[in-house]
Amino acid sequence: MVELKYTPLDEIDKIRTSLHAGFQTGKSKSLAYRKYQLLQLGHLLKENRARFVEAIHADMGRPVFETEFYEITGALTDITAAVKSLSSWAKPETSPFNFNWFAMRPRAHKVPKGVVLVITPFNYPVWLVVEPLIGALAAGCAVCLKPSESAAATSALWTELLPKYLDPDLVRVVNGAVPETTRLLELQWDHISYTGSGAVGRIVASAAAKHLTPVTLELGGKSPVIVDASADPALAARRVLLGRFVNAGQTCVSPDYVLVVKGIKDRFLQEVRKSYAAFTAASGDPSSKSGLAPTTFSHLIHSRAYARISGMLEKTRGKVIAGGERDEKENFVGLTVVEGVEKEDALMGEEIFGPVLPILEVEHVDEAIKFINGGDRPLALYVFANDKKVKDKVRNETISGTMAFNEVVIQLGAPGLPFGGTGASGYGYHRGKYGFDAFTHVRTEMDSPAFIDKILWWRFPPYTDAKLRAMLRMMKDGLPAKPKGPPRLDGASEGGWRKWAVVLLAVTAAAAAVKRARN
């Protein structure tokens, strides 16, 4: 086990001061220098790819495939996109043409917010470090990174490599646990990005409020799955189970529980058993647990996580229909499916964040929607259905950070789309231009020529009735006519049948007139 060296408390203030001095040099305002930093970040990851794979395996036993697919390839792709797109992201925006204003040349410039704090979690210790770094570096900020102490090997690797590849005047690392994080949060920052639990997210938001610091929070939560009667049960079972398999369920958008419609439940459970058997079979390792070899399944991050998940399994009143193996020494909980779970079960309280999948039966989709809307807004919502009306219904009647139909987890990798929560699952966005915008201040400006005073002569005191009339003539609001009533909410165009009735009457009258003329 790698021993992570914590940053001395008395060094944290100095690091913040050093970053402020680095930002004040102005070098990060250069787009060329920002692209250089981004490229250096990309090559840091590419040239040390194997070391990151090894470090993550040391931290949580994660298989090579998952680290490559769910972290490294996506991170490199997003860095490449940022380098290629930065010039367009940072381009000043001009105000829409308006005759009264165009001569004053109004526009908006994209400027870095300043010195920012990025606090990242253990579960994806590459991707969830790289994504906010992309946004902050692209925006031209100086960054203090606080990686998770729970992923000690990976955090130690970041600490070693970042000063070798990135400008230490602009990027520094602080390692530690609660005391070090507390000290960081006592300081003033120009933006804070935090990914982790809701409980700590509230602490971060409260600390930031003391300095009126803007915050981006990604907090996870219980992400539900709805399996409708119109779904393909085999596809739903295979993909939902995969979402719980990956990283041993330690994924913020992992399916947390399944609401399956009664009519398809038996077929769905049958397919879950088949997929479980396929996922856990033929490991070739006689010492493996539940058929899961050390190279194919992650373990939980630490003993506290093991104790929490084990406690849930001991308290549940549901029936384990697949998996359930545990090894306290290895912090191992096998992929576990629990059927017959009630809405008040021990598995339905807090986010599970582990390889346990509870399955609940509902009569219909409306019951599933009502249950989801009765809790906190989830970070992700998954719907397995082939009926378009069902998809539209769930989309229109729920709110979540992200949503996927007939798929799980990988929607986060779609290029150009933001990643963020809503309500208790967080606020603000990462990825691409949305991440750039999070660390950017949009500063508006105007450059008004002297002759404008001949046009806006009426704005100067003393105010008179003549000046008021002149102002009102020039500053017309252009507001459309007042509506005659509320619009129809059933999707039909307002007054549509009346318009067609008028057209029909006109055509009929015209036809009658032509007939009379011929006679």
Q: What is the pLDDT of residues 17-51, one digit of tens each?
A: 999 999 999 999 999 999 999 999 999 999 999 99
Q: What is the percentage of the chain residues whose pLDDT exceeds 70?
A: 92
Comparing 127-136, 363-372, 475-484, the range with the smallest average pLDDT is: 475-484
Residue 147 contacts residue 154 (beta carbons within 8 Å): yes
The DSSP H or E segment spanning 185 is helix 178-186
How does pLDDT run across 237-274, given as a tens digit for each residue? 999 999 999 999 999 999 999 999 999 999 999 999 99
Residue 490 has a pLDDT of 76
Residue type, 119: I
| Residue 286 pLDDT level (bands cut at 50, 70, 90) | very low
Beta-carbon count within 10 A of 75 CB? 24
How does pLDDT run across 418-457, given as a tens digit for each residue? 999 999 999 999 999 999 999 999 999 999 999 999 999 9
How far is Cα 160 from Cα 111, in angstroms, rounded to an integer?
30
Beta strands 380-384 and 223-227: pairing type?
parallel
Q: What ranges in 25-126 are assigned the alpha helix state H?
A: 31-47, 49-60, 64-67, 73-90
Residue 518 has a pLDDT of 67
How far is Cα 53 from Cα 235, in angstroms, rounded to an integer?
30
Residue 281 has a pLDDT of 79
* Mean pLDDT for the stretch of residues 83-102: 94
How far is Cα 191 from Cα 113, in angstroms, rounded to an integer?
7
What is the chain's mean pLDDT, rounded? 93
How far is Cα 296 from Cα 293, in angstroms, rounded to an integer?
5
Comparing 7-16, 168-177, 284-293, the range with the smallest average pLDDT is: 284-293
Which residues, other chains included, contact 20 with Cβ-Cβ below 8 Å and sequence gap of 6+?
114, 115, 142
Beta strands 93-94 and 107-112: pairing type?
antiparallel
pTM given for the model: 0.91
Going along the chain from its start, the domains and CATH numbers come out as 9-220+431-443 (3.40.605.10), 224-415 (3.40.309.10), 446-474 (no CATH)
Mind spelling out the 3-state secondary structure of 102-161? HHHCCEEEEEECCEEEEECCCCCCCHHHHHHHHHHHHHCCEEEEECCCCCHHHHHHHHHH
Q: Please give the structure tokens belonging to residue 39.
A: 């490229």
The DSSP H or E segment spanning 339 is strand 336-339
Which among 473, 437, 408 is positioned nearest to 255, based on CA atoms?
408
Which residues, other chains included, contact 475 with Cβ-Cβ below 8 Å and sequence gap of 6+?
100
Residue 503 has a pLDDT of 63
pLDDT at 284 over 50: no
Sequential DSSP letters for 359-420: EEEESSHHHHHHHHHTSPPPSEEEEE-S-HHHHHHHHHH---SEEEES--SGGGGSTT--B-
How far is Cα 167 from Cα 321, in angstroms, rounded to an integer?
53
Catalytic positions are 218, 252
pLDDT at 291 over 60: no
Q: At what angle do helices 178-186 and 9-24 cross, to 10 degrees?
A: 40
Match 């017309």 to its residue by tokens: 476
Q: Which residues pair with 143 in a beta bridge?
A: 116, 171
Residue 42 has a pLDDT of 98
Residue 157 contacts residue 129 (beta carbons within 8 Å): no
How does pLDDT run across 118-138, given as a tens digit for each residue? 999 999 999 999 999 999 999
The DSSP H or E segment spanning 195 is strand 191-195
Comparing 163-172, 284-293, 388-397, 400-409, the range with the smallest average pLDDT is: 284-293
How far is Cα 442 from Cα 208, in angstroms, rounded to an integer?
20
Which residues, other chains included, contact 118 with Cβ-Cβ below 8 Å and sequence gap of 6+?
129, 132, 133, 136, 143, 144, 145, 146, 192, 193
Residue 285 has a pLDDT of 43
Which among 464, 500, 491, 251 is positioned nearest to 352, based on CA atoms?
251
How far is Cα 288 from Cα 412, in angstroms, rounded to an integer?
31
Distances (CA, A) of 116 to 139, 173, 224, 286: 11, 12, 33, 49
How far is Cα 128 from Cα 185, in angstroms, rounded to an integer?
19
Q: Please give the structure tokens belonging to residue 162.
A: 């970042």
Most distant pair of Cα atoms in the chain: their distance: 105
